[in-house]
Amino acid sequence: MEAMISRPLTAGLKGEAMVPGDKSISHRALMLGALAVGETGITGLLEGEDVLATAGAMRALGAEIEREAPGRWRVAGCGVGALREPENVLDMGNSGTAARLLTGILASHPLFAVITGDASLRRRPMRRVMAPLAACGARFSARAGDLLPLAIEGARAALPLNYRLPVASAQVKSAVLLAGLNARGVTFVEEPVATRDHTENLLRHFGAALEVEDTGAGRVIRLAGLPELRAADITVPADPSSAAFPLVAALLVAGSRLVLRHVGLNPLRTGLFTTLAEMGAGLAVENSRIAGGEPVGDLVVTPAALRGVDVPSERAPRMIDEYPILAVAAACARGVTRLRGLGELRVKESDRLAATAALLQANGVAVAIAGDDLIITGMGGPPPGGGVVATAMDHRIAMSALVLGMATRAPVVVDDASFIETSFPGFVALMNGCGAAIAPLPADAA
Ligand code: S3P
C-alpha cells in the first residue's frame, strides 16, 4: 500500500505535458503485432503494468517482443494460427482488456492456456466473452463459471462467429473479432451503440479485410477470416483517458494553463470533452492532425466556472472510463449533475459507481446513486475535502481523488496509489512538475 496526500493548490497548474500512450491501442498493437508476419515497430507504447502483462503473454505465446528505447518497441510476430502453447499460466495483472482480448485470440487457436489476474481482475465477469466465443468451438472452464482463473481449450478448426452485443463493450467486440482472425469464413459483430474502434482500425492497418456499416442504430462489422496480417509500424497517441486527469485539474485550479500534447481524439473516446464543454469548460484543440491512423491534437486548458449537467446514457460508451474524474469536476460545479446509465461501472477495476460515490462523500460532497445513475450536488466552488479515499485496486479512483485534493479546502488522502502504475506511470511526477503538491503520506499521519 502506498498512501499519498494531495494538497490544495494556491497557484495554477502550468506547463506542457505529454501523458503516456493510449492503453487500448497499446494492448492491441502488441497483440496484432504478435499475430502478424514480420516486424512491427511501435512508438509511444504505454509502459504501464497492464500493457507489460500483454507483452509478457504474447511472448509466452511465441512472439519476440523487445523494448528498444523508452516507448519504442519491436514485435516479431508468429502469424495468425501459429501461436505456440504457453508453458505456464498467463497472468494479466489488473487488466480486463488484456484478459478478454486474449481470450478471444486463444479461443480460435488449437492450444490449451490458463488466464489469471490480480484480486481485482479475478472478481470481474468473463462470461461476457466466454458465451459468444464458445460458438467457435472453444471450451472454457472458469472458477464459479464466470471468473478467473479461466482454462481455455481453443478450437481445432474454429467456426466464424455471428454475434450481436448485449452490452456496449469494446472488449467483447474485440474478443469476437480477434477470434475471427483464425476462423474460416466471415465473422459478424453487431453493436447497438458504437464503442471504441481501435481494433477495427488496427486490423485494417495490418491488412485484414474488414467492413463497417453504420446502421443508424449502431454498427455491423464484417471480418474475413484467415487473413495474412502484415507487420506495420504503429504510432500510439497519448491516452485521452489519462489526459483527462491533468485536464480536469487545470479546469478546477484557478490561474492554470496546461497544454497536453498529442492527445488521441478518436470521436468514440471524446465524450468527456463534449460533456465538459456543456458544463462551460473552455477547451481548445490545436494542431489537429492524423497520426498512426488516429486523430490527435494538442489540448489547451484554462480554468472555467463549471455548471451541472444531465449526461445521457447513450454517451456512456464514449466516456466510459472518465466518469470518476467527471464526477470530481461535477463536485466543484454549480448545480446538480446527473450521470445516467452507469451500470457497466460496477464491473470495472472496482465497483466504480460505488467507489466514485464514496470518494466524493468522504470529502463532503452530497452524492446519491439512483438505479444506474449517479447524482452529484455541486458545491459551486471548492468542496471541503479532508477525506481518506479507499482506492479499491482502481487506478482511476486513485488519480481522481488526488485531482480532487488540488481543488478542495483540506487535503485528500488515498490509501493506495500503487495501481496508478497500471495505466499512468509517472502521474505524480507529471502533475507535480506542473505545480501539484502530491506526496507520500508521512508515516506518522497514516
Ligand atoms: C476498453 C474498453 C472498455 C474500457 C476499458 C478499455 C478497451 O471496457 O472501460 O478501459 O480497450 O477495449 P468495456 O469494453 O468493458 O466497456
- 4-20+237-441 and 23-213 agree in CATH topology: yes
Listed by start position, the domains of the chain span 4-20+237-441, 23-213
DSSP code per residue over 370-421: ETTEEEEEEESS---B--EE--TT-HHHHHHHHHHTTSSSB-EEES--GGGG
According to DSSP, the β-strands at 4-6 and 412-414 are: antiparallel
Sign, Cα dihedral of 224, 226, 230, 231 = positive
pLDDT band at 160 (very low <50, low <70, confident <90, very high): very high
350 in ligand 1 pocket by Cβ < 6 Å? no
The stretch 140-169 carries a mean pLDDT of 98
Residue 445: is its pLDDT beyond 80? Answer: no
310 flagged as catalytic: no
171 in ligand 1 pocket by Cβ < 6 Å? yes
Cis status of the peptide bond prior to 110, with omega within 30 of 0: no
Of 118, 321, 394, 416, which residue is the catalytic one? 321
Work out the mean pLDDT of the chain and round it to a whole number.
Answer: 97
Ligand 1 atom nearest residue 320's Cα: 9
The stretch 307-328 carries a mean pLDDT of 98
Fold observed for domain 4-20+237-441: UDP-n-acetylglucosamine1-carboxyvinyl-transferase; Chain (3.65.10)
344 in ligand 1 pocket by Cβ < 6 Å? yes
Query: Tell me: the pLDDT tens digits for 376-410?
Result: 999 999 999 999 999 999 999 999 999 999 999 99
3-state secondary structure of 145: coil
23-213 belongs to which CATH class? Answer: alpha beta
The confidence score (pLDDT) of residue 446 equals 57
Q: In what order do the strands lie in the sheet with 162-164?
A: 162-164, 186-191, 219-224, 210-214
Model-level pTM? 0.98
How far is the centre of ligand 1, averaged over its atoms, from the C-alpha of 407 (Å)? 29
> How many residues comprise the chain?
446
Q: Nearest C-alpha to atom 5 of ligand 1 is from which residue? A: 97
Query: Tell me: the pLDDT tens digits for 127-139?
Result: 999 999 999 999 9
How far is the centre of ligand 1, averaged over its atoms, from the C-alpha of 100 (Å)? 10
321 in ligand 1 pocket by Cβ < 6 Å? yes
How far is the centre of ligand 1, averaged over its atoms, from the C-alpha of 255 (Å)? 34
How far is the centre of ligand 1, averaged over its atoms, from the C-alpha of 212 (Å)? 19
97 in ligand 1 pocket by Cβ < 6 Å? yes
How far is the centre of ligand 1, averaged over its atoms, from the C-alpha of 317 (Å)? 9
**Among 24, 94, 239, 419, which residue has the most ligand 1 atoms within 8 Å of its CB, making it the best to mutate?**
24
